[in-house]
Amino acid sequence: MPVKVAVNGYGTIGKRIAHALLKSPDFELVGIAKYNFDYSAVLAHRLGMKIFVPRDKLEEFRKHGVEPEGSIEDLVSEAELVYDASPAGRGAKNKELYVKYKKPAIFQGGEPPEVAEVSYNTLCNFEKALGKSYVRVVSCNTTGLLRVVCSLGSNAVESVFGVIVRRASDPKEDLKGPVSSLALDSAQIPSHHALDAKAVVGDLAVETVAIVAPTTLMHVQVLKIRLRKPAGFEQVVESLESSRRVLLLDAAAGIDTTGKLVELARDAGRPRYDVYENVVLASSLSRSGVELTLVQAVHQEAIVIPENVDAAYAVLNLETDVHKVVEKTNKLLGVGELKYLITTGAK
Ligand code: NAD
């Protein structure tokens, strides 16, 4: 029997989680919570999703021809697991509802780490999330950074220094900036990404500096990683590629900007041009002794979706073997398929 799952909040992350769950034989999407009426309620309704709204919004949705299935409380009470994809900081308040109905929940990176028992990344600490009631999937940039570190093996990494060029806003967020400046993120060093990475891999020596750039497409990270022991180039490539969550892109693909990467995803038929993989430019990958340098693009809207799906298997104890979970989720979302469109060719 598929497990009944709810998605509370149907924005950038929530709609992608909901669409992933719709395709999975292991989960049944019991419904989504919408807080304001807009076109996405109509599209979700047409796709057959059940829509739950705050009690005082029932009439507003009806007026526009979308019959709500019930209230947010009804949705939570029907589900066996809730994904909280609310605006950053709201999930911690929503938790009261999940506690009231004794429902496990998966939170997003905009919440403080204390909201959950575990801050999570599949390749780093899947086992720690097994059977937990509250798990937090860390932010997009931290997910990108941790995938690299844990693909190499966190024990194999002595330290990481990362410069993150962070997209200023998602495409739909018209009013966020900066529009022309580059700005130090949160005016602090290290940026929250390093702290977040440590919330997952406690003893990781990591420092990050994040600069906010006027773009909506993707983040770009420059990572300098010091390994504990020298590793051969082939070994590094194999480690990075093994989970298929990291795509090494050869220069021959002709992609040297985030804009071209978006075009690749569109041409490959990815929904919403979602790039679930870290995209490492193979030409940037250099290794000298114990030092490894790479440049990677991270699609902020999509990168945490595989980890969100994986986390459900852990929380519900549906599958305890991380390799099987990664394989299932990769298959569900087509993660790793882009590799077969482009030969890696890394040398
Ligand atoms: P969003 O603003 O696109 O979507 C949030 C949705 O939640 C909106 O549709 C809003 O109407 C709805 N909502 C309003 N009040 C709510 C409530 N009380 N409970 C539940 N939902 C409510 O936000 P997003 O970008 O999808 O971000 C969601 C979470 O994911 C945040 O924690 C964010 O930090 C994290 N995250 C975002 C990105 C990204 O690039 N957008 C990447 C990784 C993680």
Residue 304 Cα to ligand 1 middle (Å): 13
> Which ligand 1 atom sits closest to the C-alpha of 11?
4
Of all protein residues, whose CA lies closest to atom 12 belonging to ligand 1? 9
Residue 111: inside a domain: yes
Q: What is the pLDDT of residue 168?
A: 98
Residue 16 Cα to ligand 1 middle (Å): 11
Residue 118: inside a domain: yes
**What string of H, E and C letters represents the secondary structure of the chain?**
CCEEEEEECCCHHHHHHHHHHHHCCCEEEEEEECCCCCHHHHHHHHCCCCEECCHHHHHHHHHCCCCCCECHHHHHHHCCEEEECCCCCHHHHHHHHHHHCCCCEEECCCCCHHHCCEEECHHHHHHHHCCCCEEEECCHHHHHHHHHHHHHCHHHEEEEEEEEEEECCCCCCCCCCCCCCCEEHHHCCCCHHHHHHHHHCCCCCEEEEEEEECCCCCEEEEEEEEECCCCCHHHHHHHHHCCCCEEEECHHHCCCCHHHHHHHHHHCCCHHHCCCCEEEEHHHCEEECCEEEEEEEECCCCCHHHHHHHHHHHHCCCCCCHHHHHHHHHHHHCCCHHHHCCCCCCC
User: 169 and 189: one domain?
Assistant: yes
Q: Please give the model's pTM, rounded to 2 decimal places.
A: 0.97
Exactly one of 30, 82, 116, 140 is catalytic; name it. 140
User: 189 and 313: one domain?
Assistant: no
Q: In this structure, are residues 168 and 178 in contact, taking their beta carbons and an 8 Å threshold?
A: yes
User: 101 and 47: one domain?
Assistant: yes
Q: What is the CATH number of the domain that holds 40?
A: 3.40.50.720
Residue 347: inside a domain: no
Residue 270: inside a domain: yes
Residue 89 Cα to ligand 1 middle (Å): 9
Residue 218 Cα to ligand 1 middle (Å): 17
Q: What is the pLDDT of residue 345?
A: 55
User: 32 and 62: one domain?
Assistant: yes
| Pocket of ligand 1 from Cβ distances under 6 Å | 8-14, 33, 35-36, 85-88, 90, 94, 108-111, 139-140, 170, 300-301, 304
User: 258 and 322: one domain?
Assistant: no
Residue 70: inside a domain: yes
Residue 84 Cα to ligand 1 middle (Å): 8
Distance CA 105, CA 33 (A): 14
Domains held by the chain: number: 2
Ligand 1: residue of 7, 17, 32, 35 to mutate (most ligand atoms within 8 A of CB) is 35
Ligand 1: residue of 8, 13, 34, 135 to mutate (most ligand atoms within 8 A of CB) is 13
Q: What is the CATH number of the domain that holds 245?
A: 3.30.360.10
- Residue 140 annotated to the active site: yes
Of all protein residues, whose CA lies closest to atom 44 belonging to ligand 1? 139
Residue 346: inside a domain: no
What is the domain extent for residue 91? 3-137+305-332
Q: What is the pLDDT along the chain (347 residues), one digit of tens a residue?
A: 999 999 999 999 999 999 999 999 999 999 999 999 999 999 999 999 999 999 999 999 999 999 999 999 999 999 999 999 999 999 999 999 999 999 999 999 999 999 999 999 999 999 999 999 999 999 999 999 999 999 999 999 999 999 999 999 999 999 999 999 999 998 889 999 999 999 999 999 999 999 999 999 999 999 999 999 999 989 999 999 999 999 999 988 999 999 999 999 999 999 999 999 999 999 999 988 999 999 999 999 999 999 999 999 999 999 999 999 999 999 999 999 988 777 665 54
> Which ligand 1 atom sits closest to the C-alpha of 108?
32
